[in-house]
Amino acid sequence: MSSSSVVVVTGASSGIGRVTAEMFVARGCRVFGTARDVRKAPALPGVEFVEMDVREEGSVQAGIESVIQKATRIDVLVNNAGMMMIGAVEETATEEAATLFDTNVLGMLRVTRAVLPYMRSQHRGRIVNISSVLGVLPAPYMGMYAATKHAVEGLSESLDHEVRQFGIRATLVQPAFTRTNLDLNAPRVKARIADYDRERDVVALAVAESVSKAPEPQGVANTIVEAALGPWRMRCTPPGEASLLTKLRRFLPAGPVDASLRKKLGLA
């Protein structure tokens, strides 16, 4: 991909998406950022905002068509829009799980499906899907979120096999906790079970502390831009904790990894 690429970043009004969009602009790209309500989107120099709700098929199709009308092509898609949730698996209502999957997995599918016909016709493109360290290292009380990110991992790897014949590659970026509103304001499940209160509260406190000490989104955003414009790799992990955790998962026996995770979350 070149620095003059046309880039679409979903969920670009705040957090990682916002900083990523700004970095693409700094690299000379033409950038379209999506937001559910463009009236609430911040004014980002060089970023053209498009209204899109990744949970609605019609909204996604209309948003992508408006980008094509303005730019005639899409070279890079960054599937960044997502949500998080804290709660035990048993406490999670089916409707809550469905909402999470609808945003984090099916939302990604909707936008990818809308973009691919244009990328296939131009015989080039890069799709960057934002996963998480929890997509390879699940944590307690974040089971449904981890499940969505495991789904993103599988979807992305299969997708890459299928689309490379058209000159398109799919890749994953796996951040750890980042200082954003997504992590700070993660909703909790509604129907809580008292038996889980002590551990859930301990984990929620540990997560809040990790987020408060976590790096700003710039490191993750830089990894996303390199994943989009640089040489292809299936998985790209930001430096720091994310890189360390993915290496631990890959190279250490399961027992020590399990114990280390529980200790970090205050459950040891």
CATH of the domain at 161: 3.40.50.720
Instruction: Note whether residue 172 is domain-resident.
Output: yes
User: Which residue is catalytic, options 13, 132, 141, 156?
Assistant: 13
- Own/partner long-range contacts of 36-45 (Cβ < 8 Å, ≥24 apart): 40/13, 41/12, 41/13, 42/13, 42/14, 42/18, 44/12, 44/18
pLDDT at 256 > cutoff 90: no
User: Which residue is catalytic, options 5, 131, 132, 156?
Assistant: 131
Confidence at residue 182, expressed as pLDDT on a 0 to 100 scale: 62
85: Cβ–Cβ under 8 A, 6 or more apart, which residues? 92, 96, 100, 142, 144, 145, 186, 187, 188, 189
pLDDT at 215 > cutoff 90: no
Instruction: Note whether residue 1 is domain-resident.
Output: no
**Tens digits of per-residue pLDDT, 242-255?**
677 777 777 778 88
Does residue 141 have an active-site annotation? no
**Tens digits of per-residue pLDDT, 150-189?**
999 999 999 999 999 999 999 999 998 887 766 666 788 9
Q: How far apart are CA 155 and CA 113, in angstroms?
A: 12
Query: Is pTM, for the whole model, over 0.85?
Result: yes
Number of domains in the chain: 1
**Tens digits of per-residue pLDDT, 84-117?**
999 999 999 999 999 999 999 999 999 999 999 9
Instruction: For residue 88, give the amino acid letter.
Output: A
Confidence at residue 183, expressed as pLDDT on a 0 to 100 scale: 60
Does residue 145 have an active-site annotation? yes
Asked if residues 46 and 31 have their Cβ atoms less than 8 Å apart, the reply is: yes
Instruction: Note whether residue 216 is domain-resident.
Output: yes
Does residue 131 have an active-site annotation? yes
The domain of 217 spans 6-264
User: Which residue is catalytic, options 141, 145, 156, 196?
Assistant: 145
Angle between helices 107-122 and 57-71 in degrees, nearest 10? 30
**C-alpha 88, offset from chain centre:** 22
Does residue 40 have an active-site annotation? no
Beta strands in 117-257 (DSSP E): 125-130, 168-173, 235-236
Q: Please tell me the total number of residues recorded for the chain in this structure.
A: 268
**Tens digits of per-residue pLDDT, 5-18?**
999 999 999 999 99
